[in-house]
Amino acid sequence: MVRTIIKRELLDNILSFKFMACVLVAIALVVISTLYLTNDYLDRLKDYHKGVTNAREYLSKIPVYSYLEVGIYKPPSPLSIFVSGIERNTGNTVTLTHREIPTELEGGLIKNEFSRIFSFFDPSSVIVVVFTILAILLSYDSISGEKENGMLSLALSNAVPRYKFLLGKYLGGLLSLLFPLSFCFVIGILMVLLLKGVSPPRNFFGAVFLSYLLSILYLSAVLLIGIFISSRTKTSFHSLIFLLAFYLITVFLIPLSINSYARNMELKKARNFEMNAAGLVRERTLKVAAEREKLPVRRTWASMAGGEKFMLKRINPEVTIEYYKRYHEMREPIVVDFAQRIFELKRKDLQTAKKIQKTKVFFLAFLPSANFEQASELAAETGGENLMRFIEQIFLYWHQLVRYLEEKNAFSLRYFYPYAEKFSPEENDFLAKFDDIKGGQKWAKYKDELNKYDKKEFRFLDLGDMPVFKFYESGFAARVQKMIFNGLILLFYNLLFFILAYFSFSQYDPRAQM
C-alpha cells in the first residue's frame, strides 16, 4: 500500500512544474559552480606546485643560516569543489624562519584585495538555497493540499492507515529529491575524476559520501518540517507562507546574525596580541642592546649587511667576524625565545577565537541549514577548523626546525659567513691594505678586487637532513567523529518532526472546509 502511495507521490512531484523548474535551476547552478570551482582548484593546485618547487629550489641554494626561510604550502583540497569553505580566501603559504611563528597564511590566488567583496556559489550552498526551497515546495501542501482537492478523505476511506499515508508522502518526497541530488553529486565526482593529472586523495570518496549522507539527512529534515507544518495549518497557502518565513529566517537571517555577533566578539576579545605585542618587541630590542654592550669585542668597519638576512663579505678583519659571531650567538637564542613568547600571545587570541567559533558552531547546529553547512565543511575539511590545525602543525614543525638549527650550531659563524674561517696568506696581505681605511667611502676603490675573493670558497649549506613539513589531513574516522554532533542533531530533527507530524496528522480533520 505504501508503495502505491510513494509511486503516486513520486509521479505527482516529478511531473509538476515546480519540480522541473527548481531542478533545472539547481542543476544549472551546480554545473556552473563546479566548472568554475574545478578551474579554480586547478589554478590553486598549479600555484601550490609552483610554490613548492620554488621553495625547494630556494633551499638548495642557501649560503648562510640567516637566509634560511622554509616556504610551507598548504595543498588545496579537491573537496573545495563541493564545499568551498574559506580555503580559497585565506592564502596558502607561510615562510618559516626561527624568528617568528606565523599564525596567518599569506599568498594564495587573491591578488586583488578588493575582489573579496565577491563571493559565490558552491554546490553545498546550492543545496541550502535551492534544494531547501524545492523541499518546501514539495511538502507544504502534502496534507493540506490533499485535503483541499478532496483526495485525503478519499485515500483514507480506502483503509489506508494514517501512518502509512504519512510514510508514503514522506518517502515519495524524499525519493523525488534524491534524484536531482544524486545527479548533482555525480556531476561533481565526475568532474574531479576526469581532471587531468589529479588523483583524488585517500579520503576523497569517504568525505563525499559523508557530504551526501548529510545532504539527505538535511533535506529529509526540511521535508518533515514541511509535512508537519502542512498538517498543522488549515490551508496550504498558510502553510507555505509559514514555511517560506521559516526558510528566510533559518537560512539567512539567524545564521547571519550569529556570525556577525561572533565576529564582533572576536574583534573585541581576541586582542591580546594587539595589546601586548609592541611591548614584547621593544623588550626584545632592549634586551639585545643590553647584551650587546656585554660583548667583549666591538664592531669595527665594514658591515655590509642590513635587515634580518645577513651575510658578511669574505674580506673582513678577523675582529669583525669575531664580533658578528659572538653577536649572533648571543642574539638568535633571544630571538627564538621571544618568537615563542610572541606566539604565546597570538595563541591566546587563537584560543579565544576558537572558543567563540565553537560556541557559534554549537548554536548554529540547531538550525538545520546552518548545521548542514557546518557539518559539510567539517567533512570536507575546507573550513576554519582545518586552517587552525594547519597552523598548529606549523607550530610543531617550527620547534623541530629550531632544534635542528641548534644541533647544527647554526647561530654561530655559519649564520652569516659562508666561507672558511681562516684567511689565506694572500688574503692577509690584501687585508693589510685596509688598515688605514675608515668608513665605506673608499670601499668603491677596492670593490672589484674584493668581489674576486667573494667568489672563492663560497659554499652553500647542505640541508639534506633538515626535517620536512608534512600536513596531515584527518582520516575518515576522524572526520566522522568531528561531524557526529551535527549529524546527530539532524537525525534528531528527523525523528522529532516525523513523530510530531505523525501525531498531528493522526488528529487531522481530512474534510475540506469550503
Partner 1 sequence: MFGELWKRQLVEDITSSKFLINFVIILASVIGFSLLFLGHFQSLEESYSKNTNANDQLLSESSKELVRLLSAPLEFGMKPGPFLFISDGYEEKIPKGLVFRPKGYTPDIKETTGLKKASSPDLSVFYSTDLTFIVQFLLSFFAVLLAFDAFTSEKEKGTLRLVYSNPVKRGHLVLAKYMSALLAIGLPLLLGLIIGLILLSLSSVVPISSGFISGLSLFFIISLLYLSVFVLIGLLLSAFSHNSKNSLVLCLLVWIFLVVILPKSSGLFLNLKRFDVPTEQEIEERVRKVEREVWNRHSHEDWMTRSGQDASTKLNVAVSNEEQRARQEVYDLYLRKKIGAVRILQSVNFISPSSLFEYSASALAGTGLFHFEHLWKQVTQYRRDFLNFFMAEDRKDDQSDHLYFHPDYLSRRPVDFNRIPKFEEKDIKTGERLKDAAKYLVLLGLYNIFLLILVFNKFQKYDVR
Residue 212: C-alpha distances to residues 20, 202, 380, 407 (Å):
22, 17, 11, 50
Residue 73: DSSP 8-state: E
Q: From the DSSP assignment, how many helices (H) and strands (E) are in the chain?
A: 17, 2
Q: State the minimum distance, in angstroms, from the CB of residue 348 to partner 1.
A: 16
Distance CA(483)–CA(372), nearest Å, equals: 10
Nearer to partner 1, 86 or 495 (CB): 86
Residue among 116 and 470 whose Cβ is closer to partner 1: 116
CB of 118 to partner 1, least distance (A): 3
Residue 262 Cβ vs partner 1, minimum distance, rounded to whole Å: 7
Phi, psi of 96 (to 5 degrees): -100, 130
Nearest Cα residue to 68 out of 336, 443, 483, 416: 416
Residues that bind partner 1 (CB under 8 A): 17-18, 21-22, 25, 29, 32, 36, 39-40, 43, 85-86, 89-90, 104, 107, 111-121, 129-130, 133, 137, 237-238, 240-242, 244-245, 248-249, 252-253, 256-257, 259-264, 267-268, 377, 383-384
- By beta-carbon proximity to partner 1, the closer residue of 85 and 418 is 85
Minimum CB distance to partner 1 smaller for 190 or for 267:
267
456-494 as b/e: b if 16+ CB within 10 A: eeeeebeeeebeebeeebbeeeebbebbebbbebbeebb
Could you tell me the smallest distance in angstroms from the CB atom of residue 339 to partner 1? 21
Question: HSE on the CB side for 194, CA within 13 Å?
Answer: 10
**Opening angle at CA 117, ends 114 and 122, nearest 5:** 130
In the bound complex, what is the minimum distance in angstroms from residue 360's beta carbon to partner 1? 9
- Burial of 6 (C-beta count, 10 Å sphere; 0-12/13-18/19+): buried
Q: Between 336 and 364, name the residue whose CB sits nearer to partner 1.
A: 364
- Is the distance from CB of 380 to CB of 83 less than 8 angstroms? yes
- Closest contact distance (angstroms) between CB of 317 and partner 1 is 25
Shortest distance, CB of residue 509 to partner 1, whole angstroms? 20
Select 266 or 332, whichever has its Cβ closest to partner 1.
266
Q: Residue 432: which residues within 8 A CB-CB, separation 6 or more? A: none
Residue 71 or 418 having the CB closest to partner 1? 71
Q: Nearer to partner 1 by C-beta: 145 or 510?
A: 145
Query: Closer CB to partner 1, residue 226 or residue 418?
Result: 226
**97, β-bridge pairs:** 100
Which C-beta is closer to partner 1: that of 413 or that of 483?
483
What are the start-end ranges of the H helices in 140-253?
A: 144-148, 151-157, 162-194, 204-232, 236-247
Report d(CA 64, CA 460) in Å as an integer: 7
Contact predicate 261/172, CB 8 Å: no
Q: Cβ of residue 253: shortest distance to partner 1, in angstroms?
A: 6
Q: What proportions of the chain, in percent to the nearest 5, are helix, strand and coil?
A: 70, 0, 30
252 DSSP assignment: I
Rounded to whole angstroms, the Cα distance separating 78 from 492 reads 31
Minimum CB distance to partner 1 smaller for 362 or for 492:
362
Q: Measuring CA to CA, how many Å separate 312 from each of 202, 284, 303, 326, 439?
A: 48, 24, 7, 14, 16
Helix (H) or strand (E) holding 72: strand 70-73
State the minimum distance, in angstroms, from the CB of residue 117 to partner 1: 4
Whole-number minimum distance, CB 324 to partner 1, in Å?
21
- Please, which residue, 132 or 203, has the CB nearer to partner 1? 132
Min dist CB 140 to partner 1, Å, is 10
Supply the minimum distance, in Å, between the C-beta of residue 120 and partner 1: 4
